[in-house]
Structure 1
Amino acid sequence: MSHTAEWKVRLYLFEEDRTTKARLELDTGTNRLTGHGTARCTPQDTDVPEVGDELAVARAMEDLALQMKRAAYGDMQPAGAPSLPESLQRYPGWLDTGA
């Protein structure tokens, strides 16, 4: 079976007071998911905005990827697939959530 789809992704970056936040929005046409990521520059570190952007975006992508896996397993369960693997459960410290 052949299948073609176009999904739209938007990435927003916000920086204020040595904190960078990323919001990654995915629109599949049938579902919308939003990933969030945060990076903070400690006072003793040199402020390099590009590093904050990279870390915040990477964390938002990780968050979105986890949501996508959960959605896929949820879609598979009615077809008799096993329940959600333990590895897809959120774990403490995966993201700096002090925002």
Structure 2
Amino acid sequence: MTRHLEWKVGLDLVEDGGRTKAEARLKTGTSTLTGHGSARCNPADADVPAIGDELAAGRAMKDLAGQLMREADREMEAMGAGTVPQRTGPGYGWPEAVQ
């Protein structure tokens, strides 16, 4: 039997005073998860809004993905299945740059 689901993801971006904030929402039909991310422009750098948008959106989606994985881990544990150990720290970039 084939199962088909459609989950909707919405992403809102707001830029104000050199800071971009993003909110990513995943609607599964039975629940909604919300991820948050932000980026700021270093005053010494050129202001390129697209870069702030990409960073904030990527961080919001990464937050959302982490929440989804933690929810799946909780559900697997509740069913008696083991989970995969989680890595710590960012997988790329400078740790102090990841918020």
So what's the TM-score if we normalise by structure 1?
Answer: 0.84
Provide the rounded CA distance (Å) in 1 between the counterparts of 2:53 and 2:27: 22
Match of 1:4 in 2: 4
Provide the rounded CA distance (Å) in 1 between the counterparts of 2:31 and 2:85: 22
Query: What is the deviation of 1:85?
Result: 2.6
Runs of 5+ unmatched residues, structure 1? none
Give the aligned length: 95
Query: What is the deviation of 1:30?
Result: 1.3
Query: What is the deviation of 1:94?
Result: 7.6
Query: What is the deviation of 1:84?
Result: 6.6
SS of equivalent to 1:63: helix
Regions of 4+ moved over 6 Å = 89-92
So what's the TM-score if we normalise by structure 2?
Answer: 0.84
Match of 1:66 in 2: 66
Query: What is the deviation of 1:35?
Result: 0.6
Runs of 5+ unmatched residues, structure 2? none
What's the RMSD between the two structures over aligned residues?
2.0
Provide the rounded CA distance (Å) in 1 between the counterparts of 2:65 and 2:98: 13
Match of 1:79 in 2: 79
Tell me whether 1:57 sits opposite 2:57 in the alignment: yes
